[in-house]
Amino acid sequence: MTSVQSTPPHATNKLAFLGTGSMNGAVLRGIIASGYDRTAVVATLRSDAKADDLRTETGVTVLIGEQDPEANINAVKDADVVFLGVKPVGITALCDQIRGSLKPTAVVVSVAAAITIEMMAAHLEAGQPIVRSMPNTPLKVGSGAVGLSSGEFVTKEDLAAVVELFSGSGVVHVVPEEQQNAVSAISGSGPAYAFYLAEAMAAAGVELGLDPALATDLARATVAGAGKMLAEADADPSALRKAVTSPKGTTEQALATFDAEGMAKIVAHGAAAAAARAAAITKELG
């Protein structure tokens, strides 16, 4: 796996976000928050339920598919980079819809789990540059993690432009495409694991007699604070854990219980189940 440095800013590319829900919306918000020219961005949604929030929060042009069946087509006509953010099952139909309207040089960037570059290429014009990405929702707050894999027609400049777009709001790694299900199982789904831990800690606090609101506040602040420490340069999770764990103290007892009950194995099993589900979706939809 290669960590990639972005190139210096270049001329603003025109961006289209098709299907701007949780994930594509987080990518878009991260890019706008890092200072990107919002007048160069068009986003689409199927329905107008969340359109006002998206317009107000980002200032980009938002087109609604239910009001204009050509919304996706109009969004991509001038675009240099096109982010596909619909559910995996909808990606190839979306490619079919836009294939005749994309600029031949437009870089198509999918954020979908399980959809391979080959599956998308079969529904786009020959030679279209395609990048498969696995981002995560913390991009929205500038703390994301992204795995990128490029198809054969992606130039060095194309890849550098995509890296630059993501790297304003997270860490970016270029990975072989066959590792994308593992990336999805760790960093794509990972925010949910951290939120689950916060929920479990809050529930544990209630069992120990804390008021639910207090327990939730303590758990939230703690997971958020630990995350902030992990985000510092060269942070080492093991060293940070050891710094909290006094010999013969209280934390040691909790961690020994986690070990005895196989928590690391549980996490590994969960991640393996996520990766296996991605492989199964590829088979179902391929």
Ligand X SMILES: NC(=O)C1=CN([C@@H]2O[C@H](COP(=O)(O)OP(=O)(O)OC[C@H]3O[C@@H](n4cnc5c(N)ncnc54)[C@H](OP(=O)(O)O)[C@@H]3O)[C@@H](O)[C@H]2O)C=CC1
Ligand Y SMILES: O=C(O)[C@@H]1CCC=N1
In the bound state, the residue with its beta carbon closest to ligand X is 21
Instruction: Please list every residue from 96 through 135 that binds ligand X, using CB under 6 A.
Output: 111-113, 134-135
Instruction: Please list every residue from 186 through 205 that binds ligand X, using CB under 6 A.
Output: 188
Per-residue burial over 107-139, b if 16 or more Cβ lie within 10 Å, else e, is bbbbbbbbbbbebbbebbeeebbbbbbbbbbbb
Instruction: Please list every residue from 165 through 184 that binds ligand Y, using CB under 6 A.
Output: 184
**How many Å apart are CA 183 and CA 129, to the nearest integer?**
22
Q: Could you tell me how many residues of this chain bind ligand Y (CB under 6 A)?
A: 4
Interface residue with ligand Y, options 85, 129, 188, 205 (CB under 6 A)? 188
Binding flag, residue 116, ligand Y (CB under 6 A) = no
**How many Å apart are CA 93 and CA 155, to the nearest integer?**
25
Residue 67 half-sphere exposure toward CB, CA atoms < 13 A = 10
CB 74 within 8 A of CB 61: no
Interface residue with ligand X, options 12, 39, 47, 67 (CB under 6 A)? 47
Binding flag, residue 82, ligand X (CB under 6 A) = no
| 66 residue type, one letter | E
Binding flag, residue 72, ligand Y (CB under 6 A) = no
Token pair recorded at residue 128: 């279209």
Q: Which residues are near ligand Y by CB under 6 A?
A: 113, 184, 188-189
Q: Using CB under 6 A, list all residues that contact ligand X.
A: 18-24, 44-47, 49, 65, 72, 85-88, 90, 94, 111-113, 134-137, 188
